[in-house]
Amino acid sequence: MKKIVLFAASSALTVSALAADLSTEDQKIAYAIGSQIGNSLKNNVNGPIQLDETIVFEAISDVLAAKKSQLSQEEMNTVMQAFAKKAGEHAQKKAAEAAAKNQAEASKLLEENKAKEGVKVTDSGLQYRVITEGSGKKPAATDTVKVHYKGTLADGSTFDSSYDRGQPAEFPLNAVIKGWTEGLQLMSEGAKYELVIPAELAYGAQGPGNIGPDRALIFEVELLEVKTQEQKAEAKPTAEKSAEAKPAAEKPAEAKPAAEKPAEAKPAAEKPAS
């Protein structure tokens, strides 16, 4: 035990010295590697077990110094298999707790929201409220829409926003969650709606990390433009014509690096990859 405590103390001094002076490339690489190891341990280990950092430091030191391992390979395999089982059980327990909490939160949100003035509920359970009515065309499920939107959770936190990215999102309406496909077909170009979407019309139990399982979602959506299949088909020949070769005597436009073209922002409402 004394050896471990002394090792931990010396490790702390070494880390402190590095933190004070990361002037060389090798020092920065070493710190980055240590940071990755620390984050991995923090994210994947803490919780299922109580991690003894001093023993972790000692094991790393033994490996780097080429010392004989204090555990045989067979012992390591046995304890790591037991840990993997414990970690899996811990993750399942946490997921079940999160789902139960989110389901209760969603029920409360939907019950309270449907009682608000102006809120309508469809047969599927989608709740919507007209903020501003539009006057343009309505999209079909097969159309492509351009929208601005903000997605929030019941606690008011924002998990996604095209406004924050500074540009609207554009996507096929049949490639998003069910609540969006249904809700946007109620809207006309120029309209702004609030959609409160039950979990079963959103991501269900497969909610991504910044949302979580079984959460109802709140979206403020502005429908800017509808592009029908016919419009897209008509635009294609025009695009092909503009791509025709220019006379050789003309000076070609300077090519822009591909990296300069911003990647299209994908709305959080898109379906998760299967």
Ordered by where they begin, the domains of the chain are 2-70 (no CATH), 109-242 (3.10.50.40)
Q: Are 194 and 186 in contact (CB under 8 A)?
A: no
- The answer to whether 160 is a known catalytic residue is yes
- Which tops the pLDDT comparison, 103 or 266? 103
- The answer to whether 193 is a known catalytic residue is no
In sequence order, what are the residues at sequence separation of 6 or more whose Cβ sits closer than 8 angstroms to the Cβ of residue 18? 27, 30, 31
Q: Of 128, 149, 171, 193, which one is the catalytic site residue?
A: 149
- The answer to whether 21 is a known catalytic residue is no
Which pair of structure tokens corresponds to residue 235? 């635009």
Q: Are 182 and 122 in contact (CB under 8 A)?
A: yes
Residue 46 CB: number of other CB atoms within 10 A? 10
Average pLDDT over residues 69-92: 92
- The answer to whether 218 is a known catalytic residue is no
- 152-197 tens-digit pLDDT: 999 999 999 999 999 999 999 999 999 999 999 999 999 999 999 9
Confidence (pLDDT) at 197: 98
Q: Of 159, 193, 214, 218, which one is the catalytic site residue?
A: 159
Q: Of 143, 160, 197, 211, which one is the catalytic site residue?
A: 160
pLDDT of residue 262 exceeding 60, the answer is: no
pLDDT of residue 149 exceeding 80, the answer is: yes
Confidence (pLDDT) at 34: 87
- Give the C-alpha separation, 45 to 41, whole Å: 5
Confidence (pLDDT) at 50: 80
Q: Are 54 and 7 in contact (CB under 8 A)?
A: yes
pTM given for the model: 0.65
- The answer to whether 177 is a known catalytic residue is yes
Q: Of 143, 177, 211, 214, which one is the catalytic site residue?
A: 177
Q: Are 171 and 144 in contact (CB under 8 A)?
A: yes
pLDDT of residue 10 exceeding 90, the answer is: no
- The answer to whether 31 is a known catalytic residue is no
Rounded (10°) CA dihedral 132, 138, 143, 147: -10
Banded pLDDT at 47 (limits 50, 70, 90): confident
Tokens 């690096």 found at: 257
Q: Please list the residues that pair with 46 across neighbouring strands.
A: 49
Confidence (pLDDT) at 271: 53
- Give the C-alpha separation, 76 to 219, whole Å: 49
